[in-house]
Structure 1
Amino acid sequence: MKKFLLPAFTALTALTMGTYASAIAQSPIAYTVSFPNAIHHEAEISVQFKQLTAAPLRVRMSRSSPGRYATHEFGKNIYHVKAFNAAGKPLVLNQLEGDVWEIPKHEAEVQIKYTLFGNWVDGTYAAIDQSHAHLNMPATLMWAYGMDQKPITVQFNDLKKQGWRVITQLKPMGNDVFYAANLQYLMDSPAELTLDKHVSWEVVNPDGKKQEISLSTHSDDDQAVVNKFADMVKRVVLEEQAIFGELPAFDYGKYVFLHDVHPSTAGDGMEHRNSTVIVQPAKAIEGNERRLLGTFSHEFFHSWNVERIRPKTLEPFNFAHANMSNELWFAEGFTQYYGALTLTRAGLNSVDDMLSSATGLINSVLNTPGAANFSAVESSRYAVFADANVAVDATNKANIFNSYYSYGGAVALALDLQLRSEFNLTLDNYMRQVWLAHGKTERAYTIPDLQNVLAKFTGKPEFAAGFFTKYVYGLQKADYAGLLDKAGLVLKRERAGKAWAGRLGALSSRSSEGVSRSTAAEGLMISSSTLMGTPVYKAGLDAGDMITVADGKNVKDMTTFNEVIAAHQPGDEVKIQYANRTGKHETVIVLEEDPGLTLVTYEKAGKTPSAAQLSLRNDWLSSKIK
């Protein structure tokens, strides 16, 4: 997702200290980050620019962050912004926008100082307290227009005072100073400053080259627990290496998981070129290992798919506004599919766990209005509004958007099963071909590029064209029941014969969620849009309506409403009394059979799979480590 000047950066990875000194002679942009008031979530930051021309110097805070597609107003958390010349004399500093400043007149050297407030631990923002400084660089460091390619140093102060060490993919240069070749690499390099529990191990590529993988954990677990968890992460790393045939060539030969576990965190996973931030709101790792591993499986897969197999729509990444992409169904969705599949192959999750994940993917495309009315490409584009974007006004998101994670995951599932059953090939093979064509070469791709790889790989251009036309650009959905049957799996209604009134938002087959969970003395308020095509939608009920009576019973909460629905059969009519700003009304909900699907093996369905079905299933779900 991030733009790197490869010739310059590749050369940098092999630089000696002498060549580094030559780069430093270019007068790098120099940041200093200090923590005199960590207890109150503040950092003091200065940035020094040298060898400036006489043109006005314009600086800003970012509005977007690598791996995020919507805007995030990082400028709101900096204040006391001041500028000085080399002698420490204050300069005129004009604020042009909420996050943009300009120094109209200056000499060759300028220093800008400001205070950063950070108290949100996730993969995007910054957080500072006495236990750590969790720094995502777009949320932390101001940058200057026109200086994208200048080398950069960052010095972290107060480490001994706080009892911290620095964990980051930035190149350490000694004396708590770290180096980035350019702005893109800096912004893509989060740092965790803390007293961590650390585990490192080596992984060997087929060419014999060894690379170091590290798990850096900030949690309340003891080292033995972290060691045991690292053993599980090792299995994930090896399974994903087997898919692509090799690890990427990590810069400086190292990759690190920046892992933060505490109930107070926001939770997140955010991929970067040679690291990933994984924030998990749990009390501890111990006792939650299997639940926590899913993020590791997903994020490490991004080392190939997104970080090096990169969509051209995100090249270069723009830090000043939202970054829209057509390809998130592949970048995030295929990664979502492999996240679950890898855990089952590694023996860390069961076959049933994988089938449950597949069920969720299938339900998302077969039983949501978003997938019925909008393509995988359109779903990807909506990320600029959906990816942790905040809106105070109501949206109709539930009816127009199906997450590109699940949408793309369902496309991946369909392609994998089609390749296996029709071509005796696999999605693993396809991903490896995409890696060789666009990842290892770091040649950004378009959707036609992905189609071309599939056409060459299968030797069937007409198959590739049809698949992309129907399932990527179009609204058609694969025959999942037929494809899964070839693996000895049965796709069926989870609550066959059970009455259903409709759903609101996320798919749930356990209750009627056409109304909100909020209650009021007068009845049950619908707070969000009802879903197109559901019984409650057809009955004319929507946000702002308050259900007071259902089937002659007073409705005070969701439990009462669900009980009324559960007492009926599909096809029954339930009379509803409701009120809104136009007065009191009546309507009728015509109940339907719950469309929610579930996936079970032939064996659990009382059927006997054939040898061919078992062979396909076992090859699909079994370990690929040789």
Structure 2
Amino acid sequence: MALRSAGGISMIRLAQVALALSVLLTSAAADPGQTHLIYTATVKPGGPRHLHLSIEVRNPRHETLTFIVPHWAPGAYRELTVGARSRTVAWKQLSGFKAVDDKGKQRKVRADGDRRWQVDAKGATTITFTYTNTEPGRPSNNRSYLGSGSGLIDGPRNWVYVEGMKDLPVHVHFDLPDGWEVGSGLDPTFDPMVFSAKDYDRLIDCPTLVGKMRSWSFLYRGVPHRIVVDDGQRVARFDVEPFLDMVKRVVKVYVDMFDDVPYDHYTFIFTPGGGGLEHLTSTTIGGVRRLTPRGLMGVTAHEFFHAWNVKRLRPLRLGPFDYTGPQPVDDLWICEGLTSYYTPLGLWRAGLYQDEEFLQSQAGGIRSWESNPAHLVQSPQESSRGVWTNDTRISYYLQGQVLGMMIDLAIRDESDNKYSLDDVMRHMYRKHGGYYRHHPPRPGFKSEDWPREIKALTGVDLKDFWDAHIRESQPVDWNRYLAAAGWKLELETKKASALAAAQTRRVEGGDTVLEVQRGGALFRAGFRDGDRVKAFNGAEVRGRFGLRRSLRAVDAGASFVADVIRSGKSVKVKGKAEAANEFGLLDYTDVPGGVRVGEVPRGTALYGGGLRDKDVVTAVDGKSVGTRGELRARLAGRSVGETATFSVKRGNDAATCAVKVQPAESRKVGRMQVLKGVTSKQERVRRGMKAGTTDR
């Protein structure tokens, strides 16, 4: 039997790794005194679910080294927490900080405030700083987790950086149990367990899947693309070829649009959980239990488009990164919102969406905009800034999605289809998207650059549009712009049902179940806490978002039939949806000591009863409030005419508010229509949007 190391690899293997690192470091620089950084992640077989981490600083050149955990992660735009819904900040899951020098002598480690540790490096030629992540997350989280058969090592939650050394190249070694592999956007070496990155920014922007996995690869324009799927958790059976075809189509449509491949290799990492997050040379996408083209093509397209928009074409303040504190910008509606427009547009161009699907996806975005009262009070620039203070009342994803389409149509219409938003994206990418492509780096963009560059490139003046709909929140005349392609949207109002405010939670195994308060609207409709909805009104329900879409589509007073799994048994729930109440109009944010409400609409019973913007609700009817999910569930079930008594904190004062429950405002419904008798210009605009072409 071969000798084993603590991490589960043989001593021969350790010698191979040491040789590989020695060769790489020797070839990296002619100066033997140059500082080198080597990171190591160890997973011990059969032990606790802990990640053992270290950073070796060779030739530190400083008497004191300061090791720092990032405050935030690119793409997340908020303080790092242990999990997506956790209040615990991520750095508190790290512990056991120690340091030794090249002679094996312990060096003193001193905490220097939150997220910072100082180490005495005087006289040392090497300092190795070690620590442990004791809560790397569970497999329901697609950001960071560690299970018995696989894990995802998330950069910002695990890799510390050395103050003053973020720009140095690094090497990363993975010490893993037998049979585990590595899937990552890090640069590979000739050793499958050793990788490199040009600097710290690139290191933490490369989440790494470790463990048992399935993988495929293909070339496009001569560049390798890899797909890795976590196979260490429960994975659904799927038809491989259609799934791979979807990914290949997504790659082709966006590479062709920008006419540039901005990376040397790219890895699609599919994990448990849901959602996705973009990275320079990879993306993590939750959804190994629904690996179908239809199930994951939207998030795959969205995250891959970010390889250009956000990761390279970015606001000036978002590169190089300052990880020490919040970095608010006005332009997340561009970063995320325009990406959300190009998601259905790209799927349409790739043949993955039919004409009607593209139109109705955009119609759905406009309906959501019009149904949210905040569209009249919070502009895209304001919602972009508000994410850092939990003051986003309308999604900047949504704002950019629908306004992006209007900007595209306006450019095509006023330029006689000679230019499009595609041209603008390419132009801005070439002018401002070179942070990782050119030396010296090209600067990111400023908010005011966009309307100016649009006019300079296309001749179309969108200053009035920007003033009204980007800087301010004036109503949009949708059909004025849709007419350019011969489309029209007719909206009508219907009473929203209480089902639309249903709350869910994810249970062990990844299933989504309902949170139902006894006596509430869902309870009266026949649902029970923990119900897993398999079908609604005859249609299969897939995942959390599919369930919410199904419930939100029900009008007040409408009958419904749901097939649910309850305590392991199939149950059919038949009921009638009650009207929603005004509490569904509020945004809720978990804060220490309670739940903070967002803007309280004037003229509502909420405002008349005494609730005010940013009140922190500590109790309802004398019962304390724990989380926003709990508060939503309790309030959504209130019947019209009841009175709810709130205990709130308002600044340093305490107040009590009595709110008589009233029905909510109506929601917007409607579909996009194709006008009859379209002109040749309208037909050219429509064809150009679908093909990604113009008439130049």
Regarding TM over 0.5, the answer is yes
Q: Are the equivalent residues in 1 in contact too, given 2:379–2:473 (CA < 8 A)?
A: yes
Out of 148-157 and 25-34, give the one that drifted further.
25-34
* 2:209 partner SS: strand
Within the candidate set 391, 414, 430, 1:436 is matched to 430
* 2:297 partner SS: helix
Out of 532-541 and 169-178, give the one that drifted further.
532-541
Q: Are the equivalent residues in 2 in contact too, given 1:487–1:613 (CA < 8 A)?
A: yes
What pairs with 1:106-185 in structure 2 (closer than 5 Å)?
A: 106-108=122-124, 109-117=126-134, 118-121=136-139, 125-159=143-177, 161-174=178-191, 176-185=193-202
Separation (CA, whole Å) in 2 of partners of 1:501 and 1:78:
42
Within the candidate set 355, 361, 367, 1:357 is matched to 361
Letter in 2 for 1:457: L
Task: Give the equivalent residue in structure 1 for 2:265.
Answer: 254
Residue 33 of structure 1 and its aligned partner are, at CA, apart by: 1.5
Task: Give the equivalent residue in structure 2 for 1:271.
Answer: 278
Q: TM-score, normalised by structure 1?
A: 0.78
* 2:400 partner SS: helix
Within the candidate set 273, 283, 294, 2:298 is matched to 294
Within the candidate set 283, 286, 289, 1:283 is matched to 289
Q: TM-score, normalised by structure 2?
A: 0.70
Residue 559 of structure 1 and its aligned partner are, at CA, apart by: 7.8
Q: Are the equivalent residues in 2 in contact too, given 1:470–1:476 (CA < 8 A)?
A: yes
Shift in CA distance, 248/385, structure 1 to aligned 2, threshold 3 Å: farther
Separation (CA, whole Å) in 2 of partners of 1:448 and 1:615:
30
Q: Are the equivalent residues in 2 in contact too, given 1:40–1:129 (CA < 8 A)?
A: no
Task: Give the equivalent residue in structure 2 for 1:226.
Answer: 240
Task: Give the equivalent residue in structure 1 for 2:446.
Answer: 446
Shift in CA distance, 467/39, structure 1 to aligned 2, threshold 3 Å: farther
Out of 169-178 and 76-85, give the one that drifted further.
169-178
What pairs with 1:390-469 in structure 2 (closer than 5 Å)?
A: 397=391, 401-423=393-415, 424=417, 425-439=419-433, 442-460=442-460, 463-469=461-467
Residue 23 of structure 1 and its aligned partner are, at CA, apart by: 7.6
* 2:490 partner SS: strand
Within the candidate set 214, 221, 225, 2:226 is matched to 214
* 2:394 partner SS: coil
Residue 359 of structure 1 and its aligned partner are, at CA, apart by: 2.4
Are 1:616 and 2:685 matched, yes or no?
yes
Task: Give the equivalent residue in structure 2 for 1:576.
Answer: 641
Q: Are the equivalent residues in 2 in contact too, given 1:333–1:406 (CA < 8 A)?
A: yes
Residue 248 of structure 1 and its aligned partner are, at CA, apart by: 2.7
Within the candidate set 488, 491, 514, 2:489 is matched to 491
Structure with more contact order per residue of length (Cα contacts < 8 Å, sep ≥ 6): 1
What pairs with 1:32-111 in structure 2 (closer than 5 Å)?
A: 32-37=40-45, 40-72=48-80, 73-104=89-120, 106-108=122-124, 109-111=126-128
Q: Are the equivalent residues in 1 in contact too, given 2:581–2:638 (CA < 8 A)?
A: no
1:70-105 deviations in Å (ceiling 9; x for gaps): 111321111111111222122221122242211246
Task: Give the equivalent residue in structure 2 for 1:236.
Answer: 250
Separation (CA, whole Å) in 2 of partners of 1:87 and 1:182:
27
* 1:83 partner SS: strand
* 2:346 partner SS: helix
Are 1:598 and 2:604 matched, yes or no?
no
Q: Are the equivalent residues in 1 in contact too, given 2:145–2:152 (CA < 8 A)?
A: yes
Separation (CA, whole Å) in 2 of partners of 1:74 and 1:588:
39
Shift in CA distance, 416/294, structure 1 to aligned 2, threshold 3 Å: same
**Structure 1 residue runs without a partner (length 5+):** 1-14, 205-209, 387-396, 518-525, 547-555, 562-574
Letter in 2 for 1:438: H
Shift in CA distance, 578/247, structure 1 to aligned 2, threshold 3 Å: same
Separation (CA, whole Å) in 2 of partners of 1:383 and 1:530:
14
Letter in 2 for 1:305: N
Separation (CA, whole Å) in 1 of partners of 2:25 and 2:109:
37
Letter in 1 for 2:208: A
Shift in CA distance, 170/123, structure 1 to aligned 2, threshold 3 Å: farther
Letter in 2 for 1:75: W
Q: Are the equivalent residues in 2 in contact too, given 1:36–1:158 (CA < 8 A)?
A: yes
Separation (CA, whole Å) in 2 of partners of 1:590 and 1:119:
40
Residue 231 of structure 1 and its aligned partner are, at CA, apart by: 0.6
Are 1:191 and 2:208 matched, yes or no?
yes
Q: Are the equivalent residues in 2 in contact too, given 1:361–1:410 (CA < 8 A)?
A: yes
Separation (CA, whole Å) in 2 of partners of 1:291 and 1:530:
35
Task: Give the equivalent residue in structure 2 for 1:532.
Answer: 601
Residue 335 of structure 1 and its aligned partner are, at CA, apart by: 0.3
Residue 122 of structure 1 and its aligned partner are, at CA, apart by: 7.8
Separation (CA, whole Å) in 1 of partners of 2:410 and 2:127:
60
* 1:596 partner SS: strand
Are 1:325 and 2:329 matched, yes or no?
yes
Residue 529 of structure 1 and its aligned partner are, at CA, apart by: 6.4
Residue 192 of structure 1 and its aligned partner are, at CA, apart by: 1.1
Q: Are the equivalent residues in 1 in contact too, given 2:501–2:636 (CA < 8 A)?
A: no
1:356-381 deviations in Å (ceiling 9; x for gaps): 32123323443423321122111111
* 1:319 partner SS: coil
Letter in 2 for 1:213: H
Separation (CA, whole Å) in 1 of partners of 2:600 and 2:659:
20
Separation (CA, whole Å) in 1 of partners of 2:635 and 2:109:
57
Residue 332 of structure 1 and its aligned partner are, at CA, apart by: 0.9
Q: Are the equivalent residues in 2 in contact too, given 1:259–1:277 (CA < 8 A)?
A: yes
Q: Are the equivalent residues in 1 in contact too, given 2:270–2:285 (CA < 8 A)?
A: yes
Separation (CA, whole Å) in 2 of partners of 1:370 and 1:591:
14
1:476-517 deviations in Å (ceiling 9; x for gaps): 243102222343333222446x68999979995645443569
Shift in CA distance, 534/38, structure 1 to aligned 2, threshold 3 Å: farther
Letter in 1 for 2:408: D
Are 1:371 and 2:371 matched, yes or no?
no
1:265-323 deviations in Å (ceiling 9; x for gaps): 2x23111111111122x6241xx431211111001111111111121021221222222
Give the share of equivalent positions with the same residue, in percent.
Answer: 23
Task: Give the equivalent residue in structure 2 for 1:384.
Answer: 388
Residue 51 of structure 1 and its aligned partner are, at CA, apart by: 1.7
Letter in 2 for 1:413: M
* 2:129 partner SS: strand
Aligned alpha-carbon RMSD (Å): 3.6
Separation (CA, whole Å) in 2 of partners of 1:406 and 1:54:
48
1:93-126 deviations in Å (ceiling 9; x for gaps): 1122242211246432211111113124588842
1:442-463 deviations in Å (ceiling 9; x for gaps): 4311112222220112224xx1
Separation (CA, whole Å) in 2 of partners of 1:619 and 1:107:
66
Within the candidate set 566, 574, 581, 1:514 is matched to 581
Letter in 2 for 1:617: R
1:27-70 deviations in Å (ceiling 9; x for gaps): 41112211115653212122211222453221122221122211
Task: Give the equivalent residue in structure 1 for 2:473.
Answer: 475
**Structure 2 residue runs without a partner (length 5+):** 1-22, 81-88, 503-547, 557-578, 585-594, 612-616, 622-633, 648-655
Q: Are the equivalent residues in 1 in contact too, given 2:638–2:661 (CA < 8 A)?
A: no
Q: Are the equivalent residues in 2 in contact too, given 1:84–1:110 (CA < 8 A)?
A: yes
Are 1:335 and 2:342 matched, yes or no?
no
Out of 405-414 and 482-491, give the one that drifted further.
482-491
* 1:82 partner SS: strand
